[in-house]
Amino acid sequence: MNCTEAVEKLWQYLDRELDSDTVAEIERHLQECRDCFSKAEFERHLRLILRRSCGCEQAPPELRARLHRLLGMF
């Protein structure tokens, strides 16, 4: 799996919508790739914060875009 594939599947991974083979592939990639690992951690934290503050799973698209720009991600 390369970075593009990993990032494309990241949301599904966090939503646990993938089969166990794909999950294993992503986890292997995250262990080897710091870049994708920090993206995954960022998304995970973002979700935790959102769940705590407003009970929703996903940030509004414009907020997500702003945060990603801010962090130079995606």
Q: Footprint of Zn ion on this chain (CB under 5 A)?
A: 3, 33, 35-36
Q: Which one, 3 or 48, has the nearer CB to Zn ion?
A: 3
Residue 28 or 45 with smaller CB distance to Zn ion: 28
Task: Tell me the closest approach of the beta carbon of residue 2 to Zn ion, in angstroms.
Answer: 7
User: Is-contact 15 43, C-beta < 8 A?
Assistant: no
Give the closest residue to 69 by CA, choosing from 42, 33, 37, 32.
Answer: 42
Closer to Zn ion by Cβ: residue 33 or 50: 33
**CB-CB contact of 13 with 21 (8 Å):** no
